[in-house]
Amino acid sequence: MRIIHNKGVCDPHVHIFNGKAYMFTTHDRGPGQPIFRMDDWRVFSSDDLLNWKLEYTLRPEDTFLGKCEECYATDAAERNGRYYMYFSHQQYCIGVAVSDNGPGGPYRDALGKPLIPKGMVDTACYDPTVFIDDDEARTPYIMFGFTCIGKKYYVARLNEDMISLAEPPRPVELEPNWDSDACWIEKHNGIYYLTTHEARYATSKSIYGPYTYHGKFMYDYTVDHGTFFTYHNQTYFTYGVPENLGDEKIDPYYRTTKIVYAHFKDDGAIVTDDFIKIAGVGQYDAGWDVIKGEWYFAASDGIYKKENEDGFEIRGIGNGSYLYYQNVNSMRQNAPVELRLSNGNKEACTVEIRENSPFGAVLGSFRAGYTGGFDKFETFRLELDNAYGTHNLCFVFYSEAEEAVRFEDFRFTKIRP
């Protein structure tokens, strides 16, 4: 499902600041352009990933660039309470703007000149990604460039001020190389993931590389300039597609954005859900055949996804843990629901389904006893005390055992003719 329709929202980079999602984007001018024409950069915010508010527009004439129509990709970072927005002028150079008033701006040009000027290194200087590592110093890096015609990505540490380089940019080795731009850095279980256009990805034990190429992790009509983010203990992948996707004549120069859930397999491979590419995130429907556990919108600390033969199951569920699924649409009154759980304990686990939050009204509850082991899933059925319509469902688990249960999925019983 596409978000923010007919506004040319593309090259999405999402960051979580102060408990809210902020999306830093470029701006396709409109349909029917012969090439990419992009007049400014924009910042949107959302707390549910469905409804997005335009917070700020950075115009090139408010920077050292002056008026132009080649406002290519942007990224953002926070440091010591200040917010930094990195922007590129076509494939020529990268600048940086700063906000002292929060991630929603306003932003002002921090240098009055490029941070990465044209010709600094032997690559096109654009499409920046700024990565804050998880070491004690929270070391910041900037990566940029493209790998076409024998060129390479480059990466450099940023100084504490975030507007100057702490070292000369270093070339990034890819094994083997592939032609792309739109680099992005993600870290999972100590491994650096470098992703680019078309959902191509490579991994390394060092941000400087070398990176080993693994192929594509998802497909769509296009997977244009994708990035990852984590929100409420859930990992997402966001990327661009044509706004008129599905029409007979596709317009590649007028784009919009999609968001899907992203999961990591035991071997480190990334997977997404084909169904969610169509249905979107942050909302569900009681008419779906199944709502998978790993599609949660929010989860308590300690909960994680674990690969199994059916896809993924939810583990790390202890006493007081919760899983939250917002905007479950088309729930009929007193909806019958089925949940698939496993319990390897002698102690039963009490499961409450609450409205809106872990502390909301109880719509229903049941006890999940021993199922024959944590690898043996059983179906538990109950009828909720709910009105017809859309509900925010929060599953809360209570148990004296260290690991309460494992959770697979849930579904609503359909009316049979």
First to last CA, the chain: 31
Mean predicted confidence (pLDDT) in 177-203:
97
Stretch 16-23: mean pLDDT, rounded?
98
Q: 């899983």: which residue's tokens?
A: 323
In angstroms, the Cα distances linking 407 to 284, 369, 412 are 17, 13, 16
Neighbours of 37 (CB within 10 A): 16
Least confident of 26-40, 148-162, 234-248, 356-370: 234-248
Q: What is the DSSP letter of 80?
A: T
Tell me the mean pLDDT in the region 117-139: 97
Least confident of 53-62, 155-164, 239-248: 239-248
C-beta of residue 292 within 8 angstroms of C-beta of residue 365: no
Q: By the 8 A CB rule, do 163 and 156 touch?
A: no
199 phi, psi to nearest 5 deg: 55, 35
Q: Are 151 and 95 in contact (CB under 8 A)?
A: no
pLDDT in tens, 311-344: 999 999 999 999 999 999 999 999 999 999 999 9
What one-character DSSP code corresponds to residue 70?
Answer: B
Amino acid type, 393: L
Per-residue pLDDT at 247: 77
- Give, as one character, the DSSP assignment of residue 279: H
Q: Identify the structural domains of the chain with CATH numbers, from first to last.
A: 2-282 (2.115.10.20), 285-412 (2.60.120.260)
Q: Is residue 225 within 8 Å of residue 197, measured between CB atoms? A: yes
Per-residue pLDDT at 416 = 59
pLDDT at 34: 95
Confidence of residue 414 (pLDDT cuts 50, 70, 90): confident
Q: What is the mean pLDDT of the chain?
A: 96
- Respond yes or no on whether the N-terminal peptide bond of residue 210 is cis (omega within 30° of 0): yes
